[in-house]
Structures are given as C-alpha cells and as structure tokens.
Structure 1
Amino acid sequence: MKNWLKNNRGFILFVFFFGFFRLAIADWNPIPSGSMRPTLLEGDVVLVNRVAYDFKLPLTNQVLAELGSPERGDVVTFKSPKDGVQLIKRLIAVPGDVVELRDEVLYLNGVASQYQSPVQVKEPMGGGLTMPAIQAQEILSGHAHTVQVLPQVNAMRNFGPVQVPEGQYFFLGDNRDNSADSRYIGMVPRHLLIGRAHRVLVSADIKGNWWPRWDRLVQAIQ
C-alpha cells in the first residue's frame, strides 16, 4: 500500500485538488430542463463560480467567509429550500425589495419592468410538437435579459406583493410560465446559494439530434 501511495502520489494530489476546486471554487452543471429558456437551453453546460458570493466548507452549506453580494439579474445556482434539489434561476429581488407580478408584468419596489421587442416564437415541447410563446427583453434594474411566456399554459401570473426578508432572495425562471421558482418554493436563504453561472461552456441539442450547438460555445450568460 505504501509503495502504491508513493508511486501514485502525483495522481492522488491531482485528484484531491481537482475535487477541491470543483467543490469549493468552480463547477460546471448541465441544464436538464427548460425553466430558463431562452437564456439557457436543455443540454447547455454552464460554468458556475462557487466563490462569487461565499466561500463554504466543501460538501456543506457552512459559510466560512462572505466574498460578494448577490445582485439583481444574476443567474444563480442554489439548493431548493423545499426539497434540496439544485436549481438555476435568475435573481429578481434582494433583501428589503418588494416584488410583485401582475398579469406577467414584474414590479420591483412598485416600479413596473419594461418589456421591449416582443416576438412570437414556437416553443419546442418534444416529439416534434411546439407551443406558441412570446419572448421579450425585460429591463430589470437596468439589466436587459430575454424572458418568455406561454399563453396557453395555466401558470401563476399574479403574485404578491411580498417583501424579501433579510438574508433571503427571490428567484424567477426566465421561462416564466414553466418554472418552479420562488413563487412555488419560497424565498431562498443565502446559505443555500451555490454560485453565479456566468458562461455556457458547451451545448448539445439533447431534445433533438444531439448535435453540438457550436454557436453557444463559451457564450456569456446575459
């Protein structure tokens, strides 16, 4: 055993530091669902900065040091306060904010978000089926990103107003009518935040022909 450890110490150190890097510094996560369409697509693999906000004890939610402040518009991975499942959504409201939805329109602290350049698209549903959808640029605190609504889906289009408590955060999926977000799972405490997703590393059409999406390679997340 000693000889094996001695002969393989370089490989062992590599595995140790690689594991530590993934668990504590940065990670890459596949996107399994369409809750963030059109920003993120099923089959995207995103790079997540695990120290964007906090440095944690690996494999725990124990925060050792706070390194940054989550900001509205960030795309964040976190553990659901409802069942512990890892999710990825957009941060909409920070502690102290009052958030509300009125007929799909997002209000933050009483001010309605702006929606620009709406277009009608066909949302793929699998099996070659599609559903009508509307996409538009939502302006949130000066940050523009694309959101999507599905008029034919029975969804929670009205919510709040509610104030975000201290130490917690409110998230929505960009695919507003197909997302299990803070409307359903509640506010997310800071210690459940994992990191900020800032780039698509690679992507493949997993709902179609599995061909790589070369145009999404190393694409920044807006």
Structure 2
Amino acid sequence: MPRQALSNLRHWLRENRGFIVFLLCFGLLRTAVADWNPVPTGSMRPTILEGDVVLVNRTAYDLKPPLSTRSLLRTGEPQRGDVVVFFSPVDGTRLIKRLVALPGDVVELDEGQRRLRINGEAALYSDAQGVLEPIGPALAVGASRPLEQLAGHSRRVQLLEGLRSAQHANAVNRRPAGFGPLCVPEGHYFMLGDNRDNSGDSRVFGPVPRHLLVGRAHHVLVSADITAAWWTPRWERWGRALQ
C-alpha cells in the first residue's frame, strides 16, 4: 500500500475510532445477546403477521459465542407456549414457531377436530373469531381463530376452514393437519405454527434439538404491511408483546 494511502487510512481510523468501536459492540450485541427477526411468511398468523420485525432474546436459553450454535452456559429453560426462533434441522433455515411440547411430552394433534393434546390432556377452544384470510393473489378463504388453552398457556390459533376444497388446498403449501401421538426425544422441542393449516413445522421436519434454538421472541419491534404497494406501517403493532 502506498505510504500516503496508509497515512490516510491511519488518520481515518483515529478520527472514527469511536464509531468503529460502536459498530463492533453493536455487532457483538446482535449476534450474542439481542437480535431482531423480520418475518416474511404467515405461518404464525394471527400472532405474528408478514412484515412484523420481532425482538429476540438470544440469551433466554443459552449463552453462545457469536455466529455459533455451541452453548457456553445454560441461562434458562424453554417453556411450552414460548415463541422461539431456531434453525431448521433439515436445511438450516431460520424459522419462528410456537414451542408446544417439551422433552418427554407425548404430543398429538387430531386430524379431524385439529385439537392439540399434550400428555393426554386436550386443549380447550373457545371464543372463535371468524375472518376472511388471504392465501394468495386475489384469493381468500374463511378462517376461524379460536383461543387455544392448554398447560397453563393460551393463544389465538388459526384454522383455515375454507381449505377443505381441493381447489383452495392446492393454492397454498398446506401441511398435514394431524400427527402423533409422538414422544418428544430428550433434548428436543416440538414446534408448531399458530397458523395450523399453513405452516411447515415439526410435523414436517420433526422435533428441534436444543442447540439449534436461537432465542425467545417477545415483542414486535416494528411492522409494515408488505403485501401493500407502499409497505404501509402498522402503527398499532409497534412495541406489541407476543402472547
């Protein structure tokens, strides 16, 4: 490197060392402590919408070196009902789903009624809300959003009732509605999307090993309707806690 260029570089580094330290600390914070995760799909509707950016606590379960899945220290235990960011055990894709079953749990989802069971206890469903759910360009189906209560936790889930016709079922990447009973292996966790009829989850790729968990998502940071022409902000979702 020419002497003048090297001198200019050293001068630039001296003048901007505070900003450089800030960027390094910011990068360390995001890769090891806290993170945000843009959500491009509707597999967690109605809890999380396409265009939500969620905050993720990367130290909720384990302390890991930046850019690594190796745990240095366990900091907490995953709980049923947590919204978890993790890497797919099949292809490493970063996903966000609901943790519904812990190691040793026997989990089952009835094909007909789509009722979730954990260790023989059936979830209770109430206060169902009827909506018209978009599943593609100029295509929508009727959906039901009941309150699912099980194992001390409750959340809204979505059932795409209108997918019972073959025409509509072929319009989305539909996943099997039922599974189990299955005993979750030691050190693994069973994940489901809240949008039960349109989610690629543990019904497809199986239980997720702990080392692939990134962290627990707890709030929506910002949100915009990415299906709209101008990505309209959803102000009412900014800062919303995830249930």
What letter matches 1:212 in structure 2?
P
Q: Secondary structure at the match of 2:222?
A: strand
2:68 paired with 1:47: no
Higher helix content, 1 or 2: 2
The alignment yields a C-alpha RMSD, in angstroms, of: 1.1
Alignment of 1:1-222 (within 5 A): 1-103=9-111, 104-151=114-161, 152=163, 153=169, 155-209=175-229, 210-222=231-243
Contact 1:39 1:146 in 2 (8 A): yes
Runs of 4+ displaced beyond 6 Å: none
Give the Cα–Cα distance (whole angstroms) in 2 for the partners of residues 49 and 143 of structure 1.
Answer: 20
Q: Give the TM-score, by structure 2 length.
A: 0.89
What letter matches 2:217 in structure 1?
A
What letter matches 1:57 in structure 2?
P
Q: Deviations over 1:9-38 (max 9, x none)?
A: 111110100000000000111110000000
Larger radius of gyration: 2
State percent identity of aligned pairs. 58
Q: Secondary structure at the match of 2:232?
A: coil
What letter matches 1:39 in structure 2?
T
Partner residue in 1 for 2:4: none
Q: Secondary structure at the match of 1:68?
A: coil
Give the Cα–Cα distance (whole angstroms) in 1 for the partners of residues 139 and 182 of structure 2.
Answer: 37
Give the Cα–Cα distance (whole angstroms) in 2 for the partners of residues 116 and 198 of structure 1.
Answer: 24
Give the Cα–Cα distance (whole angstroms) in 2 for the partners of residues 65 and 188 of structure 1.
Answer: 19
Q: Deviations over 1:32-60 (max 9, x none)?
A: 00000000000101000000000101111
Give the Cα–Cα distance (whole angstroms) in 2 for the partners of residues 207 and 62 of structure 1.
Answer: 37
Contact 1:72 1:140 in 2 (8 A): no
Contact 1:117 1:136 in 2 (8 A): yes
- Per-residue deviation at 1:132? 1.1
- Per-residue deviation at 1:140? 2.1
What letter matches 1:220 in structure 2?
A
Higher strand content, 1 or 2: 1
Structure 2, unaligned runs of 5 or more: 1-8, 164-168
